[in-house]
Amino acid sequence: MQPQSRRITIVDVARHAQVSTTAVSKVLRNAYGTSPTMRAKVQASIAELGYRPHAGARAMRGQTYTVGVLVPDLRNPFFPDILDGVDDQLRDTDYQVLLGPSHCNGERAEARVIDAMIDRGMDGVVLIAPVVPRPHLERIARMVPTVVVGRHGRSTAYDTVADDDTAGAALIVDHLAGLGHRHIAHIEHHETNPIRLAEMPNAIRAEGYRAAMQAHGLDPDIVSTSYTRDGGYLGAQQLLARSRLPTAIFAGADVVAMGVLEALTEAGLSVPGDISVAGYDNTAFAALGPISLTSVDQAGRHIGGTAARLLLDRIADRERPTAQVKLSPTLVVRHSTAAPPA
Amino acid sequence: MQPQSRRITIVDVARHAQVSTTAVSKVLRNAYGTSPTMRAKVQASIAELGYRPHAGARAMRGQTYTVGVLVPDLRNPFFPDILDGVDDQLRDTDYQVLLGPSHCNGERAEARVIDAMIDRGMDGVVLIAPVVPRPHLERIARMVPTVVVGRHGRSTAYDTVADDDTAGAALIVDHLAGLGHRHIAHIEHHETNPIRLAEMPNAIRAEGYRAAMQAHGLDPDIVSTSYTRDGGYLGAQQLLARSRLPTAIFAGADVVAMGVLEALTEAGLSVPGDISVAGYDNTAFAALGPISLTSVDQAGRHIGGTAARLLLDRIADRERPTAQVKLSPTLVVRHSTAAPPA
DNA sequence: GCTGGTTTGAGTAACGTTTTACGAATGTTG
DNA sequence: CAACATTCGTAAAACGTTACTCAAACCAGC
């Protein structure tokens, strides 16, 4: 088990192919000024020696061919959909995706992960529903090409891709009201920061819910917890503690609905017999037979694909004006919603 | 929106603190030969200038303080548990975790992601249930400190952390047999490669199932698909197509059980009334009220924590003999299993 | 006050790549 | 055939950090 031999470098390849290191570098980046003959020679040597470019060294001068994706919560089954979309776009490029997990969803932790990605020379980053303050986002975007997913608000520094959460919330409320529900509660991710209130999807969904309820002449009823399973569980428990139960619960995310179903099951209530439940994101979980959750589909894969494409565009041209892509969600009706009990 | 100012380097810090760059470097790595006075001065300058070390440059000489974790499937809810454990251990160190997603679970794709992590100068890697050939693993481990999680087989090059899958499978079979089941089917992740047959958890579970069945004097009945939701769905459909149904299904992973439940629901069968279902991994999904899946707990968080600790150890001393940690699983009985219908 | 040892800090050469500038062929035009 | 583009390839200088070598400053103990 001898200590591994030194890594093969561009110099080794150059020597083997009998050309200069510059020539090898040019071939690698398929830059201008390489004859087919030379290209072939170099590529043969690369293959024979098993050369692999050293990203660290590359980072010092040019690109690393790496893009980082900030994932706020690995337990939320919506995010893999987005990542699939990113992967679709990047699979056939030289770029490699690395994920920055920020499970403990604090602002500090998130900022730390983003900084770490920048320090590691990522050519660009996709930030999924980041919670750091707006100016911080702008600062990041000035350092590295950035696409922000699922957070509204126009910036001149970064592109955004988001779902029309106002419309999505309305889809649910319209559906439930159409079934005859008058008392529809909403469980949201708690938010006080004024900027995030205007930008984060959770806040927009809550606001959309409120507007839609009023449009139907109904009273909004919001419980604030978090977009996690536990948040859903706690939120539902708060509702269950009431003297008068709602006849339907609109959970701000499928993962929240998981917790809601948990609490309702525990309380011995049947869905949708006693109470209807709707989610948001149309994750694989919602589609699951025993669950069969009515949900709003925001086409995560498409969102991810769009984000990746925008990012590649921006890496290619950092001066291009920023884009704001807004996608329209659709309603997927399943068995967790029905007319309220008589 | 002026083009971002040049990155602050160690040289800027040195100038600002009026010391040499060497001194700054020493403080950063808290190496030998720094007086408290100097350390304070340097740290003040670092804070004031907002200096951040450039990982690419570091990669060329020393460490990058980055560890990579290969995650085979982001939709399997077991993996976040492992990652939590890794995070627990690394949170208070200088190390940063980055995830390499390998969704399309081919050998090629996996090898590509691992290579990418090595190229990017990771100080160490944790490979979760890797499928690449054994010699490839050895080669990787010779290049970079490596811990392999959930794959059995002793190596002199890398450490391993795994669950005792033989015992885990027996727990399920014993439980179901104890309830009176005679016809217990198992859905496994298909495997033909002889080395993986001896090392991969799926293969060991299947073998453990077979052994336990025989110990009870029962006939094994195995369906081969994959450890995904779709795999579970297809496997269950194959079983449902039979003239004689099993009275219980042991799914090799919770994520497989998701698909099984899906298929059974679709077929109008009730669980556990018509048929019992058990999973493996005891994910949050299994605990979910409406699901309430009997499962085997292999303490993912603990596995992840152990892996991270072993990795740090090995980064500190690459010559230390390798360790093989095997953890004992426990059975968690819920409502998806019951005595077979009379 | 000198010796010998220990701290403390500085100077400098890598590390592997890209980039800029430039020379040597080769082809093209008047 | 001279003058000039064009193409192909090379040399050398960065990039930001760490590790190695070595000098200066300091401290005992005689």
At residue B6, the pLDDT reads 76
Average pLDDT over residues B77-81: 92
Confidence check: pLDDT of A82 > 80: yes
Chain A contact for B219 (CB, 8 A cutoff): no
Count, residues in chain A: 342
Largest separation between any pair of C-alpha atoms in chain B: 86
CB proximity under 8 Å: B 271-300 to A = 271, 284-285, 288-292
Asked if residue B224 and residue B103 are part of one domain, the reply reads no
Query: What angle do helix axes A36-49 and A10-17 make, rounded to 10 degrees?
Result: 120
CB-based contact, A267 to chain B, within 8 Å = no
Over 60: is that where the pLDDT of A2 sits?
A: no
Rounded Cα distance, B212 and B238, in Å: 23
Mean residue pLDDT across chain B: 92
Cross-chain residue pair A284–B75, CB shorter than 8 Å:
yes
Burial environment of residue B50 by CB neighbours within 10 A (0 to 12, 13 to 18, 19 or more)? exposed
B322 contact residues in A (CB cutoff 8 A): none
Q: Say how far apart CA B84 and CA B129 lie, in whole Å.
A: 17
Do residue A169 and residue A71 come from a single domain? no
B320 touches chain A (CB under 8 A): no
Give the pair of three-digit tokens for residue A294: 């009515």
Contact A100 B103 (CB under 8 A): no
Average pLDDT over residues A9-20: 91
Query: Does the beta carbon of A120 lie under 8 angstroms from any beta carbon of chain B?
Result: yes
Residue where the block lists tokens 């884009």: A323
Do B27 and B145 lie in a common domain?
A: no
Least Cα separation, residue B181 to chain A (angstroms): 23
Which bases in strand C are touched by protein, i.e. have an atom under 7 Å from a CB? Answer: 7-12, 14-21
A-chain CB neighbours of B80 within 8 Å are: 74-75, 103
Say if the Cβ atoms of A52 and B143 lie within 8 Å: no
Considering only CA atoms, name the residue closest to the C1' of nucleotide D8.
A33
Burial letters for B83-114: b for 16+ Cβ neighbours within 10 Å, e otherwise? bbbbbebbeeeebbbbbbbbbeeeeebbbebb
Q: What is the mean pLDDT of residues A281-300?
A: 90
pLDDT at B289: 78
**What's the CA gap between A193 and A106, in Å, rounded?**
13
Instruction: Nearest by CB to A83, from B56, B58, B74: name it.
Output: B74
Q: A157 with A306, same domain?
A: yes
> How confident is residue A164, by pLDDT bands cut at 50, 70 and 90?
very high
Any domain includes A2: no
For chain A, percent of residues with pLDDT exceeding 70: 98
Q: Between chains, do A157 and B84 touch, taking CB under 8 Å as contact?
A: no
B337 part of a folded domain: no
Shortest CB distance from B119 goes to which of A53, A68, A71? A53
Following DSSP, what letter does each residue of B303-317 receive, concatenated? HHHHHHHHHHHHHH-
pLDDT > 80? residue B59: yes
User: At residue B312, does pLDDT exceed 70?
Assistant: yes
Give B313 CA → D26 C1' in Å. Answer: 38
Contact by Cβ (8 Å): B278, B251: yes
Q: What is the pLDDT of residue A1?
A: 36
Q: What is the CA radius of gyration of chain A?
A: 25
Question: Measured between alpha carbons, how far is residue A146 from residues A82, A112, A137, A160, B79 in Å?
Answer: 16, 16, 9, 9, 28
- Same-domain status, A269 and A199: yes
Do the chains contact at A56 and B53, CB–CB below 8 Å?
no
Nucleotides of D under 7 A from a protein CB: 7-12, 14-20
- A261 and A313 in a common domain: no
Listed residue (A280, A311, A305) closest to A148, CA to CA: A311
> In this complex, is the C-beta atom of A183 within 8 Å of any C-beta atom belonging to chain B?
no
Could you tell me if A217 and A321 lie in one domain?
no
pLDDT band at B105 (very low <50, low <70, confident <90, very high): low
- In terms of domains, do A283 and A169 share one? yes
pLDDT value, residue A106: 83
- B61 assigned to some structural domain: no
Between chains, do A99 and B103 touch, taking CB under 8 Å as contact?
no
| Whole-number pLDDT of residue B288 | 83
Nucleotide nearest to B14 (CA to C1'): C10
Q: Do A269 and A172 belong together in one domain?
A: yes
Residues B290-308 have a mean pLDDT of: 94
> For residue A234, what are the domain limits?
165-297
Residue B339 lies in a domain: no
Domain membership flag for residue B342? no
Q: Which pLDDT band holds residue B104 (cuts at 50, 70, 90)?
A: low
Is strand C in 7 Å reach of the CB of A38?
A: no
CATH number at residue B99: 3.40.50.2300
Q: Is the pLDDT of residue A88 over 90?
A: yes
Q: Measured over all CA atoms, what is the biggest interatomic distance in chain A, rounded to whole angstroms?
A: 86
Can you tell me the distance from the alpha carbon of A276 to that of A340, in angstroms, rounded to the nearest whole number? 7
Q: Which nucleotide is nearest to A21 (CA to C1')?
A: D10
Helices B10-17, B21-28: crossing angle, 10 deg rounding = 110
Least confident span in A99-103, A275-279, B146-150, B243-247:
A99-103
pLDDT of B5 over the 80 cut = no
Contact B119 A288 (CB under 8 A): no
**Whether residues B70 and B101 fall in one domain:** yes
Dist. CA B100–CA B69, nearest whole Å: 6
Closest CA to B253 of B275, B219, B221, B230: B230
Whole-number pLDDT of residue B3 = 44
In a domain, A92, yes or no: yes
- Is A286 contained in some domain? yes
A311 and A225 fall within a common domain: no
Tokens for A319, please give them: 């001066």
| Gap from B21 CA to C22 C1', Å | 34
CA distance to B17, B55, B176, per residue, from B14 (Å): 5, 18, 68
Average pLDDT for B22-51:
88
Residue A104 has a pLDDT of: 65
- Residues A129, A177, single domain; the answer is no
CA distance A291 to A304: 26
What confidence score (pLDDT) does residue A3 get? 44
What pLDDT is recorded for position A134? 93
The CATH number given to whatever domain includes residue B31 is 1.10.260.40
Helices (H), ranges, chain B: 10-17, 21-28, 36-49, 55-61, 78-90, 107-119, 134-143, 165-178, 194-199, 201-215, 229-240, 254-266, 284-287, 300-316
Q: What is the pLDDT of residue B291?
A: 85
Question: Is residue A17 less than 8 Å (CB to CB) from chain B?
Answer: no
Q: How many domains does chain A have?
A: 3
Least confident interval from A119-123, B232-236, B264-268: B264-268
Is the Cβ atom of A34 within 7 Å of strand C at any atom? Answer: no
Q: Residues 6 or more apart from A55 whose CB is under 8 A from it?
A: A64, A65, A66, A121, B56, B59, B119, B120, B121
**CA pseudo-torsion sign B268, B271, B277, B280:** positive
**pLDDT confidence of A287, banded at 50, 70, 90?**
confident
Dist CA B169 CA B211 (whole Å): 9
Asked if the structure places residue A196 within a domain, the reply is yes
Q: Cis (ω within 30 of 0) for the bond into A201?
A: no
Which H or E run contains A108?
A: helix A107-119
Give yes or no for A77 touching B (CB within 8 A). Answer: yes
Mutation target vs B (from A79, A119, A143, A293; most B CBs, 10 A cutoff): A119
Establish whether the CB of A25 is closer than 7 Å to any nucleic acid atom in strand C.
Answer: yes
Name the amino acid, one letter, at A308.
Answer: A
Residue at B177: amino acid letter: A
